[in-house]
Amino acid sequence: MATSKQHQEAHGIGQVEQQLNNQMEAAEDIQGHSKQDQDVKKASQRPADPLKDLSK
């Protein structure tokens, strides 16, 4: 049962990430690109490395 719940949660997280990406792209279309937006988008697409993230 827990495996199913974890799978559903992981799928839900993926949906949230996709929705946020869609919103960011829509904002770019409306407002144009900014350096900060480009940096955030680039960071959001890099693979996660929990150990590296903790060392900052």
- Predicted pLDDT at 39: 86
CB 27 within 8 A of CB 41: no
φ, ψ at 32 (rounded to 5°): 90, 175
pLDDT in tens, 1-56: 456 666 566 667 788 888 988 998 898 888 877 788 788 878 888 777 766 656 55
User: Which residues does 26 contact at the CB level (< 8 Å), separation at least 6?
Assistant: none
Contacts of 17 (CB under 8 A, 6+ apart): 44
This prediction's pTM: 0.46
Q: What is the pLDDT, as a whole number, of residue 46?
A: 78
Question: Containing H/E element for 41?
Answer: helix 35-44
The size of the chain, in residues, is 56
